[in-house]
Chains A and B, each alone.
Chain A
Amino acid sequence: MNSKNILIKVNQLYKIFGDGDKNALDLVKNGMSKDELLEKSNCVLGLNNINLDINRGKIQVVMGLSGSGKSTLIRHLNRLIEPTSGEILFNDTNILNFTSKELIQFRQNNMSMVFQKFALFPHKTVLQNVGYGLAIQNISKDEWSEKAQKWIKRVGLDGYETYYPGQLSGGMQQRVGLARALATDAEILLMDEAFSALDPLIRSEMQNILLDLQSELHKTIIFITHDLDEALKIGDRIAILRDGSMVQDSDPQEIIMNPADEYVSDFIKDINRARVIQARSIMTPTNTKSSGATVKEDMVLEDILQIMSDAPSKPVTIENSKGKVTGKIEMVNLIEGMKRPKSLGTNITG
């Protein structure tokens, strides 16, 4: 990957909660596990040697179960939590060296955040909430309320400007949260389980709103979730955390086809493979046209199955977005792709 595309680079980041940090850090670096550390030194290992490159204009998903350190990681990016050791580079500047003034500037201009529990200001109206990030930069009221108005409209809350958060439903509140984060025009958006507290229908609607906005704004989004379906739907890249360590960081298709270990396998074993695996992941590469229909690279297996069921014996041709033939898929490939890898089937503990 071209290094110019990397906006945020996390290098060897460690976070240990509790007293006696220095000693505990050495123990962790020598390979002590989270449980051992807790027992020996009464410190909690938050993050263990995290290295992560986040690409400009992409959605980087960070996944993990609760307690895996994903919320801790995202709070390091805007220094709501200070690391024990390591560095975080933003455009090659280490944000850990920022003075408190620079940090405030950075938070005001470069990064904004959406929270799991919305964290709206209950005493402010929707308009004031959305304009908050601008208002604290001493921008005139006319200016910030005009911008806030624009974003309120963009997330579909027209007419609710004078309402208080307490009067809105959960989904509407999170739209306010999203508008508040977008209003500062920061290029980085941190989303900490932003949609986890919403019911499934609203969640899916919010995901669509986000993708819709992203196709137009091309922000760099760091999205925390524990929901694999959500991660696959919106992520350009998925990093998986376990007990504070990075287990896998790759393309979503790669995670499904080649899970790094049992933990990741557990994560993906319940997904509907036919609905998420794309043609490019299982095709046999070739550049000659096959006898069957032609489909795009990113078509999911379920849809290819529909097409192939008319003529099961004819392999389909796969082409990329530019119309160039890149491979073919036969029925046997389809079946193979939808089947869970053997080792996963036997694991029923997850």
Chain B
Amino acid sequence: MDWFFNFPDMSRSDLREFKKTVDFAFTDFSRKYGQGIEEFFEPLLMFLVWFEKLFINTPWPVIIFSILLLAWISSRSILIVVGTFLSFMLIGYFGMWEDTMSTLAIILVATFLCIAIGIPLGIAMARSNKVQAAIVPVLDVMQTIPSFVYLIPVVMLLGIGKVPGLIAVCIYAIPPIVRLTNLGIRLVDKDVLEAADSFGANYWQKLFGVQMPLALPTIFAGVNQTIMMALAMVVIASMIGVKGLGLPVLRAISNQYLALGLMNGLAIVILAIIFDRVTQKFGLRMQKYRNEGKD
């Protein structure tokens, strides 16, 4: 009756063998191809470094002015612009300007990457149920697996640095935009699509003329979520060598610096709120035709 009370698991030596095999196999793989993969991501690294330098080296008034202008163009709300201005002044005054710029750079690059990969993926999912069935479980894994778990192979392959950090951020942040692009396209009114069909529209005309524009508010909700999740990954990414607001937080945890942790933590929160409000307002303005139309 032993098997009834103790789970009949595999023997310790077998288990050890199993783990060893997997580990060695992957080590071999990374020895063999690590170099190649690193070279593959070289352009991305260059772009990231260039972008970060651009943010850090541009005089702060120019940066603030550009951000305020962007905030105004997309939200058309004085309240948001004033809030953004005060937030950035505060961040700068407390000496976190450079870290904030680094974080901003990696978030923007990550978001851009997620959009560039995520939207076509979402479109493919909306087009075919089979593609959808194949991708949904992958997204589920990406969203639920603890980030540390996929950090291990990423670091083994690419070492410590910006690119593995960026990849980790993207793995975590890409699911919402894929899901919401798919959903947005699938939710487009069947009657309207039938009308487009009846006038002889082809697939691409339907996609870009009808489905994408009508799905845009939903897709934008996905972009918003992607940015939020990317920001949430900043601290974890700093563990594998991404500079920015996450690094001081990490230092604060290990040394119990309350003030340092709070300040940088709050700076991340402020960035998140600004991004969120601006993109949400933009999303709302895009679907204005649904309520009153003319603008």
Residues of A whose CB lies within 8 Å of any CB of B are: 78, 80, 103-109, 111-113, 115, 117, 119-123, 132-133, 136-137, 162-164, 166-167, 180, 184, 190
Does the CB pair B200–A166 fall under 8 Å?
A: no
Question: Of the candidates A108, A119, A120, which one forms a contact with B200 in the assembled complex, judged by CB atoms under 8 Å apart?
Answer: A108
Chain B contacts for A107, CB-based, 8 A: 197-200
Give chain A nearest CB distance to B161 CB in angstroms: 44
Give chain A nearest CB distance to B174 CB in angstroms: 27
Give chain A nearest CB distance to B127 CB in angstroms: 16
Task: Decide yes or no whether B195 CB sits under 8 A from chain A.
Answer: yes
Chain B contacts for A111, CB-based, 8 A: 198
Task: Decide yes or no whether B265 CB sits under 8 A from chain A.
Answer: no
Chain B, range 194-250, C-beta contacts under 8 Å to A: 194-202, 205, 209-210, 213-214
The CA-CA distance from A110 to B236 in the complex, in Å, is 61
The CA-CA distance from A140 to B86 in the complex, in Å, is 49
Give chain B nearest CB distance to A6 CB in angstroms: 23
Give chain B nearest CB distance to A298 CB in angstroms: 34
Does the CB pair A80–B198 fall under 8 Å?
A: yes
Give chain B nearest CB distance to A88 CB in angstroms: 15
Q: A106-B200, A115-B195 are in contact. Are A166 and B210 (CB under 8 A)?
A: no
Chain A contacts for B195, CB-based, 8 A: 113, 115, 119-121
Task: Decide yes or no whether B9 CB sits under 8 A from chain A.
Answer: no
Give chain A nearest CB distance to B198 CB in angstroms: 4
Residue on B with the closest CB to A167?
B293
Most chain B beta-carbon contacts within 10 A, residue among A104, A122, A123: A123
| 14 new A-B contacts at CB < 8 Å, known A104-B200, A136-B202 | A105-B200, A107-B198, A112-B198, A115-B191, A119-B191, A119-B195, A120-B192, A122-B290, A136-B200, A136-B209, A164-B289, A166-B289, A166-B290, A166-B292
Pairs across A and B, CB under 8 Å, 14 listed: A80-B197, A104-B200, A107-B197, A107-B199, A113-B199, A120-B192, A120-B195, A122-B290, A123-B214, A136-B201, A162-B294, A166-B289, A166-B292, A167-B294
Does the CB pair B210–A121 fall under 8 Å?
A: yes
Does the CB pair B192–A119 fall under 8 Å?
A: yes
Residues of B whose CB lies within 8 Å of any CB of A are: 189, 191-192, 194-202, 205, 209-210, 213-214, 289-294
Residue on A with the closest CB to B212?
A123
Chain B contacts for A108, CB-based, 8 A: 199-200
Does the CB pair B200–A115 fall under 8 Å?
A: no
Q: A119-B192, A122-B192 are in contact. Are A167 and B292 (CB under 8 A)?
A: yes
Closest CB pairs A-B (n = 9): A164-B293, A107-B200, A108-B200, A119-B195, A113-B198, A119-B191, A133-B199, A104-B200, A164-B289
Most chain A beta-carbon contacts within 10 A, residue among B200, B205, B213, B291: B200
Q: A119-B192, A163-B293, A163-B294 are in contact. Are A133 and B200 (CB under 8 A)?
A: yes
What DSSP secondary structure best describes chain B's contact surface?
A: helix
Does the CB pair B194–A166 fall under 8 Å?
A: no
Give chain A nearest CB distance to B32 CB in angstroms: 46
Residue on B with the closest CB to A78?
B198
Chain A contacts for B197, CB-based, 8 A: 80, 107
The CA-CA distance from A327 to B214 in the complex, in Å, is 61
Give chain A nearest CB distance to B14 CB in angstroms: 48
Chain A contacts for B196, CB-based, 8 A: 121, 132, 136
Give chain B nearest CB distance to A338 CB in angstroms: 42
The CA-CA distance from A119 to B202 in the complex, in Å, is 17
Chain A contacts for B200, CB-based, 8 A: 103-109, 133, 136-137
Chain B contacts for A119, CB-based, 8 A: 189, 191-192, 194-195
Question: Of the candidates B199, B210, B289, B293, which one forms a contact with A184 in the assembled complex, judged by CB atoms under 8 Å apart?
Answer: B199
Chain B contacts for A163, CB-based, 8 A: 293-294
Chain B contacts for A132, CB-based, 8 A: 196, 199
Question: Of the candidates B194, B289, B293, which one forms a contact with A115 in the assembled complex, judged by CB atoms under 8 Å apart?
Answer: B194
Chain A contacts for B294, CB-based, 8 A: 162-164, 167
Give chain A nearest CB distance to B282 CB in angstroms: 16
Give chain B nearest CB distance to A221 CB in angstroms: 15
Residue on A with the closest CB to B206?
A136
Give chain A nearest CB distance to B293 CB in angstroms: 3
The CA-CA distance from A164 to B292 in the complex, in Å, is 8
The CA-CA distance from A75 to B197 in the complex, in Å, is 11
Chain B contacts for A80, CB-based, 8 A: 194, 197-198
Chain A contacts for B201, CB-based, 8 A: 104, 136
Give chain B nearest CB distance to A283 CB in angstroms: 43
